[in-house]
Amino acid sequence: RASGDPAFAELQPWMQELGDPVDAAPYGMPSEFEAHVQRKTVYWLTADPISSINFTPLHELDGIITPNGLCFERHHAGAAHVDPALHRLMINGLVDRELVFTMEDLLRFPRENHVYFLECAANSGMEWRGAQLNGCQFTHGMIHNVMYTGIPLRLLLAEAGVQTAGKWLLAEGADASGMTRSIPMEKALDDCLVAFKMNGEALRVEQGYPLRLVVPGWEGNMWVKWLRRLEVGDQPWHHREETSKYTDLLADGSARRFTWEMDAKSVITNPSPQAPLTHGPGPTVLTGLAWSGRGTIPRVDVTLDGGKNWHKARMSGPSLTKSLHRFYFEFDWNGQPLLLQSRAHDSTGYVQPTKDQLRAVRGTNSIYHNNGIQTWHVSKTGEAENVEIS
């Protein structure tokens, strides 16, 4: 077929002209043919674009790493442009020595590399009362997965000397939102990082340049960006982001608080509403992502018929704790409508619930921590739509 295909048979301009010289783009950008691959916001979700959110285009990506320029953004007071020469990190409160570090000081501590997902607790939050947004970018795109280079937080705390009464840590950002979160000392001493690099390069402005807190497996709100201060205390502070926000209102009017760990979850990224099947019946690649704030994902199940038959998906790529996992399921599409779902199993034995199972326990007042199974309906023409089945 190739010989009759003009795309192959005819000379293209790029076969007849010299290409760009080296250094045409000293800090490279993707091909101009990838211009449609973009973070996107949903305008009606927030009152203004400064305290707002946009979404990672999960349906355009593969593997497990999110490219830095496509990591979703969530800012409470816009993305701050912080001069690293004027940036300081203070440790104060119940410590033997109150300390203030420059960026140069921090670069003299031992550092580690780890891949972790960051998921906003509000990811899928618009779906509590039924299928709403058409696209995995919008239903599941408040997530990114990055290799961080950073200093184990425990090393910085040891430098300051945490006193016996010091059981909590308050992390504060340098942006105009003055965002703060209380973190239990156990977690701070376990696997938290003070990171300055993402995927090998400096943190992006949008991700908290020059310094951010990494709180593996826990809700994104705790990953304070533009990190400027860590206060050691004997109890949580009960600030805005851990009282009126980031708590889960239950049906009986009581609220779940301090729900930090992100439950196991998965989504089929292709096919999906923004990535329909365009090739007709025959060999078809289904792929998606799965993750858990409590460990790894040894197994993902996939159904093509709304849960009547489940198949084991093929995992491919590194299986790292608190990181995205990539799964595939190749099948021969018969051209009939499909009801696609994926179901994650994590290394603790936990199995991702259906949305109805979740609502039975949590009601529908919640915004945060919706990890229910997602359904895509694929029509005979290959278009996909966000639906719910019971």
Residue 199: CB partners within 8 Å, gap ≥ 6? 65, 67, 68, 146, 147
Binding partner of residue 140 among ligand MTE, Co ion, none, CB cut-off 5 to 8 Å per kind: none
Nearer to Co ion, 221 or 370 (CB): 221
Nearest distance from C-beta of residue 333 to ligand MTE, angstroms: 35
Nearest distance from C-beta of residue 70 to ligand MTE, angstroms: 11
In our burial notation (b when 16+ CB lie closer than 10 A, e otherwise), range 5-28 reads eeeeeeeeeeeeeeeeeeeeeeee
Can you say whether the dihedral through the CA atoms of 297, 154, 145, 244 is positive or negative?
positive
Nearest distance from C-beta of residue 297 to ligand MTE, angstroms: 21
The residue with tokens 């285009």 is 57
Binding partner of residue 169 among Co ion, ligand MTE, none, CB cut-off 5 to 8 Å per kind: none
Residue 171: CB partners within 8 Å, gap ≥ 6? 180, 181, 183, 213, 222, 224, 227, 229, 230
How many angstroms separate the Cα of 301 from the Cα of each of 268, 320, 349, 377? 11, 19, 14, 17
Residue nearest to Co ion (CB): 120
Q: Name the site residues for ligand MTE (rule: CB under 6 A).
A: 71-76, 118, 120, 144, 173, 175, 177, 179, 206-207, 220-221, 223-226
**CA nearest to 67, candidates 127, 146, 162:** 146
CA dist., res. 369 & res. 352, Å (int): 12
Binding partner of residue 368 among ligand MTE, Co ion, none, CB cut-off 5 to 8 Å per kind: none
Nearer to ligand MTE, 175 or 248 (CB): 175
Residue nearest to ligand MTE (CB): 173
Nearer to Co ion, 55 or 168 (CB): 55
Do the beta carbons of residue 336 and residue 351 sit within 8 Å?
no
Nearest distance from C-beta of residue 72 to ligand MTE, angstroms: 5
Binding partner of residue 338 among Co ion, ligand MTE, none, CB cut-off 5 to 8 Å per kind: none
| CA angle (384 as vertex; 58, 119 as ends), nearest 5 | 25
Nearest distance from C-beta of residue 387 to ligand MTE, angstroms: 27
Nearer to ligand MTE, 213 or 304 (CB): 213
Nearest distance from C-beta of residue 286 to ligand MTE, angstroms: 27
Binding partner of residue 269 among Co ion, ligand MTE, none, CB cut-off 5 to 8 Å per kind: none
Mark residue 96 as left, alpha or beta (left: phi above 0; alpha: psi -120 to 50; beta: remaining): alpha
Query: In the numeric block, which tokens belong to residue 56?
Result: 């990672």
Phi, psi angles (nearest 5°) of residue 49: -80, 0
Q: Name the site residues for Co ion (rule: CB under 5 A).
A: 74, 120, 220-221
Nearer to Co ion, 117 or 329 (CB): 117
Nearest distance from C-beta of residue 224 to Co ion, angstroms: 11
Nearer to ligand MTE, 249 or 387 (CB): 249
